[in-house]
Chains A and B, each alone.
Chain A
Amino acid sequence: MKIILKRLKKRNKLSYISFWIIIFLYLSALLADLISPYPYNKQFRDYPLCPPTRIHFFDYNRKFHLRPFVYEIRLVNPALNKYEIVKEKKCPIYFLVKGERRKILGLFYSDRYLFGTKEGKVFLFGTDIHGRDIFTRILYGARISLSIGIIGVSISFFLGFLIGGISGYFGGKIDNFLMRLVEIFMMFPSFYLMLSLRAVFPLNLSSFQIYLLIVIILSLIGWAGLARIIRGMVLSIKEEEYILAARALGLSTFRIIFKHIIPNTFSYTITAITLSIPGYILGESALSLLGLGIQEPYPSWGNMLSVCVGNLRVLSNAPWMLTPGFFIFLTIICFNFLGDGLRDVLDPKNW
């Protein structure tokens, strides 16, 4: 692991940086309770579609303050969502400010928040139509959007390895049947298949059920392509001389698969996992975006964007509502950079 990172740092700076951005994103999702300035479902009714708050060090008199502060803002025209800065009212930002009690990491209760103001509000990325802090919701939404990638990929890989492995190893009729099945799954446009599978289940489910459902649907779509690739790899490895040698030595099928074939697919697997995670993140976002995935009030990066669909007024007046989209983009591009970097680094030819 360390060696891989070192090599990544030397050969491909961009993917090395991406690696740390991804770590940072996952950590923030994990520690959302600790970082966020407000609870995720807290609605500030007086602040709908409030633009991102600017944090100042200099006030209007050009005077420098060591402690950063925000100006209080006021909704002046509810119809047009026009806000105005109250110049007289400086609200300094403090660490560990008091707020509503909430449970942290499911372990203990606390009423302290990492940062915040005593008066006024600090909305780093603005608020949504219900006046909820987008920064907070992005942190909590990351939990869904980022974890689905990992879990979905794991299930798909398990299925892909199982089916591809069986197909490639045993060959013959089993192979023929399984590969036709794979082809059928790949012949459906994935977006259509995703929606169709969703249609089989009721629209109203609990958050947890929906989460599971999304994972299952995405894995059902994702396994086919993987199985086909794994099969190809198993076939080519099976013909390699060292496998023939192992067979000639009389090793059992089981031992050959686990000792010789699986380790040889390792570098491919790591790369493929990294490069297929974006697909799952996109799948979740798309479903939630269309209102078929994670439901309010719980946030996911996808459902935070759903207000923007077909709502020109929100989109043109409050472009900060698109911030979750930017985070989806950032995550995906990082995974793509990392995946390509890993492919480069893990290829024995480049050692």
Chain B
Amino acid sequence: MKKILELKNIYVGNEEIKILKNINFEVKKGEVLSIVGESGCGKSMTLRTIIKLLPKNIKILKGKILFNELDITEIQDMERIRGKEIGIIFQEPSSYLNPLFTIGNQIEEAIKNEKSKKLCKEKVFKILQEVGLPENVYYLYPHQLSGGMQQRAMIAMAIVNNPFLLLADEPTTALDVTTALGIINLLKNLVATHNLSVIFVTHDISLARFISDTIIVMYAGFIIEKGTSEEIYNQPLHPYTKKLINCLPEKYRKRERILTIEGEVPSLKNLPSGCPFSNRCDFKIDICEKYLPGEIKFENRIVRCFKYGNIVES
């Protein structure tokens, strides 16, 4: 299948801190890729890097982002790609929608390559129907919608130009379970009908397994493991991934005590030298504290741990 997006050797940050380090992955047409990790590991930052909307003091330091064979890092007018070829949805739709404009207005202004007002409006009605919203939502303001409806409106806004790629930044975290499931099913449908590629950021590894083809696990700005969702879920390699999966309640019987991961994610300002996970790892050996493990490839899988071979990150 055709590659839509490829990140090559991406470093993001500034002089003081490096937020993303040596990020490599690719997304194929129609593929759903999940990025999993605890908060602060660089998941959302990866998404923001792809559309080049980083906080003011943070820059892409190194690497290439190939989007349809075009290097995004070198593009000046990102406006023609954002919204048109890459859409994005967020965790809290209520604050990401402008409270002073109608949903119709906000979707309409996202439409590109359509001059006629009438056709624009028709397009909005069509997309509203597609995301499962009634037509009158066009005339409503964000505060008049429920959280689930707001998220559907956000999705409508993101896919109205039929983009190649949809970035979803924890789109269901702020919603209750039934509403969240509705959104997940909607996303699955859209992937099928539009042949859409999706990067789905979540901290919920079982949700990631349910929705995606491939899973990337991130920790402290590194990709520490990558594989198909079944592989990751059933045979995790990295000690961190194993622990993440061990934390899932569904792995336990009633009244059994759930294991948690001891310790905390190290702050980006003072990472331990060597493997960033070394301070919480049960399989720690001497080398872990001295050197940073490099990426080890097994067929389609990637893991960054000295347990599987002595490859050191340069």
A and B in contact, CB less than 8 Å: no
**Hey, which bits of chain B sit against chain A, CB under 8 A?**
none
